[in-house]
Amino acid sequence: MGIAENIEKIRAEIDEAARRSGRTGGDILLVAASKMNGAEAVRAAVAAGVDACGENRVQEMLQKLSERAYDGAPLHFIGHLQRNKVKSVVGKVNLIQSADSPELIRLISAQAEKLGIVQDILIEVNIGGEENKTGMALQYLPEALDTAAESAGVRVRGLMTVPPISAESEKNRAFFAQMRELFVDIGRKKYNNNIIMDFLSMGMSADFRDAILEGANMVRIGSSIFGARDYTK
């Protein structure tokens, strides 16, 4: 199947899960996770109406930006952002989904202030508490929020997570539910306008239905749109 057909099928599945959770497909943003796919494939996804494109690697993103692959869709950075790459990303993307430490938030903010902009970010949470996994441990979340509240160059728009890879769907539903609780709790707290809980980004090809059932309103889908990634290249 082609990219447009894949997206049509995914949209129908998103709509079904959304309806089961009292919403409609229109309430869920579909981000095409386009790592390892070239500009042509990205353009096809944009033409088929994805809500945004998400990239993991800075070099790859800059290459595709130079090819104008994302024209017509917002661009998100969804991969681990190294401190020395902050300058290459801030201001070039609409949303950094992977702000995963208080220090990174400070660096993003400083760079944004230099450019005279406010960078939208999501805070990435390591909800499974896995070692060697991106996202911040839960214990750092209060500090990250306080840092963001004081940082004029960033605006937190929500939370993102990649849960542990699990064979049992029930287990990941519990992680998704926990994220949803954090999302609601933080939204109720009285921070300043730097912290707005708009987006709960969770769910990938294998688990986006579960994520939506537990409250995700943004899903990041790669292989179901573009086909399996070829790691031999």
Ligand X SMILES: *Cc1c(COP(=O)(O)O)cnc(C)c1O
- Per CB under 6 A, residues contacting ligand X are 33, 35, 56, 78-79, 162, 204-206, 220-224
77 or 183: CB nearest ligand X:
77
Taking Cα atoms as reference points, which of 63, 102, 61, 64 lies closest to residue 83? 102
In the bound complex, what is the minimum distance in angstroms from residue 97's beta carbon to ligand X?
7
Cβ pair 136, 126 in contact under 8 A: yes
In the bound complex, what is the minimum distance in angstroms from residue 220's beta carbon to ligand X?
4
Q: At what angle are helices 141-150 and 102-115 packed, to 10 degrees? A: 20
147 or 201: CB nearest ligand X:
201
Cβ pair 28, 213 in contact under 8 A: no
In the bound complex, what is the minimum distance in angstroms from residue 22's beta carbon to ligand X?
25
14 or 151: CB nearest ligand X:
14
In the bound state, the residue with its beta carbon closest to ligand X is: 222
12 or 117: CB nearest ligand X:
12
Given its phi and psi angles, is residue 117 left (phi above 0), alpha (psi -120 to 50 degrees) or beta? beta
In the bound complex, what is the minimum distance in angstroms from residue 27's beta carbon to ligand X?
19
Those residues with Cβ within 8 angstroms of residue 116's Cβ, 6 or more apart along the chain or in another chain: none
